Structure 1
Amino acid sequence: YIASYTIWYSTREDFHPSVISSEGVTVSSYTPAVGLEENATYWWRVKALDSEFAETWTENTSWYIRINAVNTAPAAFNLSTPTYGAIVATTTPMFDWQASTDTDPGDTITYELWLSSTDKNFAIKSTYSVSCSSYTPQSSLVENATYWWSVRAIDDSPLGPKTRVSNSTWSIRINAVDEAPVNLSLSSPTHKEVVDTKTPTFDWTDAVDPDPEGHISSYTICYSTKENFSVYDSSAGLTISSFTPAGAMELIENASYW
């Protein structure tokens, strides 16, 4: 008959030099009195001793178990590109971040990319679920818009998933097209107005450059006694939205100017 069992278990597959054993077990099961190490791998084997002192080891010498009594969240990670405040020249930029890791045995990590053009708190957002540490949106982002982005790493532990948020939230601005200035219109003198000076001040609205970080570098004014501007005078390099002709550029008495 089987007199007893001896169980060996170790964090080394060769059971050397570190092995824990328990002898004299009289039933075919065993529960360690002291908890095993979290997230560790243990190899185990059993020896049977019969009443005539003959012994046999289990045939399965490479069985192992992995301990995961507590689910640990994925490790901290950083965003990579586009960098904070970057102006990107495409409406479908690739978002890239560091891969997170998980110390829990058997856990795999997926990611959620969060994008918002509203605010950095993501009250309104688009969410993209991916299995790798980068993603390129399939739909174009909005030209000239500011987007905040952040990533969540999520494990698939059977104990219940845990999430790690990227160490920061970054913003980018989209500028795929170099757009012309907008909101430019004439102010005064008004159309067909009669002015009582040869040096009237021409005034117009301040133009706006819709591109991120764009600005109006200068204005050029053209004026002519010909409606088709076949012949005209001009002044370039103006840095303000008004111009007053003077000296040799004075206008002609009783003439009409466009």
Structure 2
Amino acid sequence: MKKVIYVFTCLIIVACGSDDDGSGGTTNNNIPPSPPSLISPNNNSTIVTQEVDELLYFEWTQASDPDNDVVNYQITFDTNANFTTSHSEMAQGISFYHYLEPNHTYFWKVRALDSNNNWSNYSQTWSFYIQDALTPLPPQLIFPLHETECSNDNITFEWEASTDVSNSSIEYKLYISQSSNFDSNVDIYETTNTFYNVGLPQSTALYWKVEAINAIDNSSFSETRSLYTQGDGTNNTIPQIEYYYPEDEATLSDQSPLLQWQGSDNETTAGDLSYKVYFSEVGQDLVLIEETANISSYEVTGLNTGTTYQWSIWVTDTDGATNVGEVFTFTVN
């Protein structure tokens, strides 16, 4: 009798896939939808809420799907541009109502998900600010710049004017502290101006911010900046800086003006002084555009008409003492 041996072969099929990383992807040969484009709120806009717990309206374009799959959307919000503390909501259509706390800047983006679980790439990231109608806008700090080291211990702090929807009068409080949390050693200075001169202790790290307060005592705070005051130099005075052109708040027709200044120092010859040139549009942070020695002018080019610019010169002597110059502005027409 013959023995018949049956051999059973098992074929194991392993399906390979990848985790969703937010960059879009294909599963089961199904093509993911295209990324949507944002429509509303406009990028860098300010939304004024008129009611308590008012819902905001968001809108984006329809994503196209090559396989004609049903498409839903994920909308993601964060107060951080890197989306490290984000939260997301799902929407079935191309618009969505959602509540966000006012008096914050938010970043948002949208991506599409088809019925085969394929994600599109994200849309662009846009931002907007929500202003409570009863709260003034946060003051924008001008001077001194963040993390400035100041040789002179008598400083004029400057910021842009704040407004609210009712155009009520705004008062300001300047807070200066040795604590970044402002929980101890806080000096508070009140003013109706957008500047305040303060004598500061030497060799001290300090933090400062500004609060804007309207007529009904609603308020908002600026960002917090830091600075450091140097100690007494040994037989060394702080170099001086004088701006020549353009004058503060001047109106120019030249789109390539030549910034001009002159530095002086009791212990250092003029030729040995070094300068840093900071420049930007008003409303933006000043940016270092030139660092040089023995030059008392700098040409800025490609400026736009109808735009106001700001500039500041820092002068340093051979002993390392630095004078942070005032911030001047001019408008190109």
Q: Same fold (TM over 0.5)?
A: no
Q: Shorter-chain TM-score category? A: 0.3 to 0.5
Larger Rg: 1
Greater percentage in strand: 2
TM-score normalised to structure 1 length:
0.42
TM-score normalised to structure 2 length:
0.33
